[in-house]
């Protein structure tokens, strides 16, 4: 089968992904070591990325769009049925099962960043919106902020395990495309449409501005 090089992931998705992975680690480390100013900054960056990624899911490049990668649960199960089969990579973007994992990861990260805005540890730090809700609500969201991190660890662990499984069982390297943006796919594969640069710049600017404004409220 003849293969051709196709650009599947735009720079926003790739840079955002690796930045996100680094920031999740930084958030954990800064909280563990009591560096709460750094923790808040890291949280604001994650929230900005998440707002951008949600918008990019509607207005971004084809492979970033929810409408393109969220397929039916039946399609996802169908994909999982041949998880261990060695076969060439034909996926232009996220596969039917991976799409749901992406949504789950974004959802738990959004819960984490959102609850952090209202969290208050009564000692070292409080989120900028903690003063806008009752003590009970803030306490609940602080607890959620702690517990939800375990869920992030679980899903991130499953996510990395799935990537490893693709490499070992299917002999498909998903990591290189997340770095370079390109995949070698069967000749005739339709290349995804990539969104223009200005749109990414605009949405990153807007997301950052919203989060900066929120950060000034507390």
Which residues of this chain interact with ligand HEM, rule CB under 6 A? 13, 16-17, 20-21, 24, 53, 64, 94, 98, 102, 105-106, 152, 156, 159-160, 163, 174-175, 178
**Residue 187 CB contacts under 8 Å (≥ 6 apart), including other chains:** 1, 2, 3, 4
Residue 136 C-beta: closest distance to ligand HEM, Å: 29
Helix axes 135-168, 11-32, angle to 10 degrees: 120
- For the bound state, the minimum distance from the C-beta of residue 66 to ligand HEM, rounded and expressed in Å, comes to 9
CA angle 53, 197, 55 (to 5 degrees): 20
Query: Which of 63, 45, 46, 65 lies closest to 55 in space, CA to CA?
Result: 65
174 token code pair: 């998903």
Dist CA 171 CA 85 (whole Å): 10
Say which residue the tokens 């955002």 belong to. 16
Closer of 35 and 159 to ligand HEM (Cβ): 159
* Nearest distance in Å: CB 61, ligand HEM: 10
Shortest reach from residue 42's CB to ligand HEM, in Å: 13
Among 35, 46, 40, residue whose Cα is nearest residue 105: 46
Distance CA 185, CA 146 (A): 42
Comparing CB distances to ligand HEM, the nearer of 76 and 174 is 174
CB of 51 or CB of 64, closer to ligand HEM: 64
| CB of residue 218 to ligand HEM, shortest distance in Å | 25
Nearer to ligand HEM, 75 or 133 (CB): 75
Q: Could you tell me the smallest distance in angstroms from the CB atom of residue 68 to ligand HEM?
A: 10
CA distances from 170 to 63, 71, 90, 160 (A): 21, 21, 12, 15
When CB distances to ligand HEM are compared, the closest residue is 174
* Nearest CB to ligand HEM, comparing residues 156 and 214: 156
Distance CA(186)–CA(180), nearest Å, equals 18
Nearer Cβ to ligand HEM, position 124 or 175? Answer: 175
Give CA–CA dist 193/60, Å, rounded: 9
């Amino acid at each position: 089968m003849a293969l051709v090089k196709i650009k599947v992931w735009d720079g926003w998705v790739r840079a955002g992904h690796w930045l996100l992975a680094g920031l999740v680690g930084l958030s954990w480390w800064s909280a563990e070591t009591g560096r709460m100013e750094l923790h808040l900054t890291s949280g604001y960056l994650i929230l900005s990325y998440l707002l951008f990624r949600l918008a990019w899911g509607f207005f971004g490049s084809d492979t970033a769009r929810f409408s393109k990668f969220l397929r039916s649960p039946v399609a996802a199960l169908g994909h999982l049925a041949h998880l261990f089969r060695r076969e060439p990579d034909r996926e232009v973007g996220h596969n039917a099962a991976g799409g749901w994992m992406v949504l789950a990861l974004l959802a738990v990260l959004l819960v984490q960043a959102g609850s952090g805005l209202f969290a208050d540890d009564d000692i070292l730090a409080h989120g900028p919106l903690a003063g806008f809700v009752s003590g009970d609500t803030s306490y609940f969201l602080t607890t959620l902020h702690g517990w939800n991190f375990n869920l992030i660890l679980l899903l991130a662990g499953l996510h990395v395990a799935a990537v490893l499984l693709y490499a070992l069982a299917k002999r498909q390297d998903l990591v290189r495309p997340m770095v370079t943006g390109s995949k070698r796919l069967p000749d005739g594969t339709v290349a995804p449409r990539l969104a223009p640069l200005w749109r990414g710049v605009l949405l990153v600017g807007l997301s950052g501005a919203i989060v900066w404004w929120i950060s000034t409220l507390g």
